[in-house]
Structure 1
Amino acid sequence: MTSPSDWAVENVLHKYQWVGNNPRGGDYLYTAIVYWATGSLFYLRTSLENVQIQDLTSAELHEIVEGVDNMAAEGAMNGPPLKIDPALAFPEFPTGFTTADQECAHNVFFKQPSLGGYGDEVSRGIARSCVETEARALEMLQVEPHDTIVTYHGCVVKDGLIVGLLLEELEMDLSERMLDKTRPFQVDKCMEEINSALNHLHSKKYCHNDVKTGNIMVRKDDTAVLIDFDSCLPEGETLGKGATFGWGNDDATISSMDNNDRAFDLLKTRVRAAVSAASLDGGAANGGGGVASSGSIVAPAAAMAATAAAAAEDTVAVLEKEEHPAKQYGKDVAAAGAAAVGLTTLVAPADGDAVVGVRDDGTDRKSEAARGDGYGAPRSPCCHR
């Protein structure tokens, strides 16, 4: 058994029963923990509902693993950890796709597949499919790039498998931008930019199928950017992951422009509700937040009250009716990542207590731990949620 200092948490995901189309509508089922030890990834399923990623140290993880039921099957509830097989976790790299250039490892985000559902065969298969879907959509889009669609730098490939995607660095999603009190936010401009991105997809006969605040990022120049294409399919194809619960047609099974239209209408309504709340909470922008001008806000925290329910649904992690961390487009891979993005060397955890993973609501929260064996890459401590 390795020492706790050799371990690093990758993610923690809480699984609940589905009720209708609500992925968190029923009883708690289990908590999945994915972690690094001895240079490999492991999957552990536990009944410890109160495990919180922000509090879980490597030493505490080690204690959880020591307490498993060794008579149970690997990966079973409270059983020993299951070593993750890359061939099952990651899709094959198709001929003709773009291989990411490790020279562009600065100012990019390394997006990894979700492994929280690895212990379930169906969930694992859909997670792989999501990577393939996103890569295919981004390959199609790079032929004719669009200003308000995230920039794609290619697939990160190891042993013929897509272990991640290199994407444009983006620091803030739409909800976070609306909470930024320091500068006005042009709502009409934002909506026009996202509508333009959706129209560009539609012109290619593709549909995004998962429009929501969490899938809109904002560049430093305040340009809104559409992200997260793992539900993006040609019109008429059967959906895999589909939309986030509460954002449009929860019963949708087919990729369609109607899915985008419904979600975009909800987006406009919810964002404008926040604008209205801002106007009632602070008055002029110069007085501590509020409406700065027509279609523009400097939003105090209270401005989001009108969309609290929507925001709660937005953080529900939806993949294959299992669980999935919200997609990340955060700060750069960092200088250390430039060498590792080739995924050929073993990188030990930088800090025994540094953790990398997801919040209990399913969204990613990353820190300093580096991963290795070629199926992950070290990141900076400040990758965006």
Structure 2
Amino acid sequence: MSKPLRWGIISTGGIATNFAKDLLTDPANRSASDVSHVIKAIGSRSVPSAQKFLDMLSSADAPADWGGKNGSLDGCKAHGSYEEVYADPNVDVVYIGTPHTLHHRNTKDALLAGKHVLCEKPFTLNMEELDELIAIAKEKKLFLMEAVWTRFHPIMYAIQDVLFSGKLGKIKRFQADFSMNFNADKQPDSHRMVDPALGGGSLLDMGPYPSVWAMMTLFNHPSNNKTPPNVLFTHQTIYKRSNVDLNSRWLLEFPGLGGVQALLTTDMATLGCGEMTALIDCEEASLAIAWGPFKPEKFWIIPHIARKSGSITEKTEHSHPVVGNSGMAYEADEVFRCLAKGKLESERMPWDESKIVQGWFDQVRKEGTSALKDMKGTEGQ
């Protein structure tokens, strides 16, 4: 194993907390003997805020306490600005965990400072921002990846193995949903799900999750030959208080799979469809993925009931638990391995696939009537 990968963490919110704690878990518990992570810098709007975050990490409970006990926080500095993290000579790669509308600016600044970047999803507000970041990464020869951690979970590989093996026959239909009641009426105007300036609404915050299942099971299916789908339909319901989208849905058609249609839904005002987050109907049976879409740990293969068709006659449950804190360490391991091999992008989370999903979001947003419909990005600034 080569020397540890030295991380800088931007922002001290909930998502950054989960990521940082995952970096502090024992890689051996997820059968990763070739990786090593340390945190060297925390960036916040003030030194006390960054220090509070660092103190929290230093006193973290198991399994994140492993890192503190084994030197993963040794020499970590609390910085009162993001720029200080970008300039820190002890940082190799920066994790961007800020609100959606800041992703482009923060990532661009980190890249221009010569740092590799793992940026939370959604990657950017629009395609123009994303294109600019990719161009900078290419020019600077720096690694850049969108943090879609679900792509790297054990269950994703297991589901792909089942679908790609042909055991269930051809895929006939797909639907994936991320619905969660955020009680928007009880939230302040500044809440990230309510405030349009922070990219509020269900689409950008929740949309990456149904999207990852469509990309990994349909787009990446061998029979699809990496053929991008067509967007057939989009719809948004508006939350009138702040004019962000209360829910969004879009219908895709995959010509590479014979016209398979995929319905993707996000909703921040209802609880959704119980214990299931996605359903993939195939010729021989259906494959149902457990809730939630960000970190499911089991799936079911379900026989067809109608006309008793299909060769599979018994329902089976398949468990593939995530090891560690929140399941975000798997993507950090991918960054380590890519950098060890001198790669600028991940083969499992490539730039072109981020652009496909960004294109969906752009179209849904621009065909809707929310406050984000015509929002401009910070590309070129």
TM-score, normalised on structure 2? 0.25
Structure with higher helix content: 2
Structure with higher strand content: 2
TM-score, normalised on structure 1? 0.25
